[in-house]
């Protein structure tokens, strides 16, 4: 998935969806898209501030409105990311614990999600990959042959009629 697609998926399709699970890729691509967006707008705001204070204030006001608009989808994707690690969405409040809370939340966001379905829904990695998921893959020939291998046949014993040692 591309950065723009993931950002639009979170903002447009799952704006306030606190149900289900979100992969690490979806979460971190959304975070990256937000960082790129804020840095780009801050640069534009800085350039406009040099030209005119009014233009700079206008851009920084737009950044504030953007922050408010992205608050709900940011919380929603974080809750869905916590669901992927089989934690309740209320674990987002652990970030309020001084010093260690934010680090623990970061750990939970980095942690790989549960394989297979959990209490919050099916595995989003399995749904996205379809048949390429390790739990649904069938054995394949390591050499890339598309033919099904024949089972090995046991060797036939030699005839004993002419065997002098029999």
Q: How far apart are CA 70 and CA 58, in angstroms?
A: 18
For 67-127, the DSSP string reads HHHHHHHHHHHHHHHHHHTT--GGGGGGGGSTTTHHHHHHHHHHSPPPSS-BTTBS-HHHH
Please, are residues 24 and 112 in contact by the beta-carbon 8 Å criterion? yes
Tokens matching residue 86:
């089989």
Would you write out the chain's pLDDT as a tens digit for each of its 166 residues?
A: 688 888 888 888 889 989 999 999 999 999 999 999 999 999 999 999 999 989 989 999 999 999 999 999 999 999 999 999 999 999 999 999 999 999 999 999 999 888 888 888 888 888 776 644 455 544 454 454 445 556 566 666 656 666 666 5
Strand, coil or helix: what is 118?
strand
Does residue 83 contact residue 22 with C-beta atoms inside 8 Å?
yes
DSSP code of residue 111: S
Q: How big, in percent rounded to 5, are the helix, strand and coil portions of the chain?
A: 60, 0, 40
Residue 127 to residues 124, 130, 136: CA-CA distances in angstroms?
A: 5, 5, 11
Question: What is the value of pTM for the model shown?
Answer: 0.71
User: Around 3, how many Cα atoms within 13 Å sit in the side-chain half-sphere?
Assistant: 7
């Amino acid at each position: 998935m591309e950065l723009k697609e993931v950002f639009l998926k979170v903002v447009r399709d799952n704006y306030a969806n606190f149900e289900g699970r979100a992969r690490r890729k979806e979460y971190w691509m959304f975070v990256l898209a937000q960082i790129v967006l804020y840095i780009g707008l801050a640069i534009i705001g800085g350039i406009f501030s040099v030209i005119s204070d009014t233009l700079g204030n206008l851009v920084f006001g737009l950044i504030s409105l953007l922050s408010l608009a992205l608050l709900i989808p940011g919380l929603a994707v974080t809750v869905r990311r916590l669901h992927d690690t089989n934690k309740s969405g209320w674990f987002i409040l652990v970030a309020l614990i001084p010093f260690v809370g934010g680090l623990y939340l970061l750990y939970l966001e980095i942690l790989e999600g549960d394989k297979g379905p959990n209490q919050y829904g099916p595995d989003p990695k399995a749904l996205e990959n379809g048949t390429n998921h390790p739990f649904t893959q069938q054995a394949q020939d390591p050499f890339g042959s598309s033919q099904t291998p024949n089972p090995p046949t046991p060797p036939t014993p030699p005839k004993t009629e002419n065997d002098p040692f029999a």
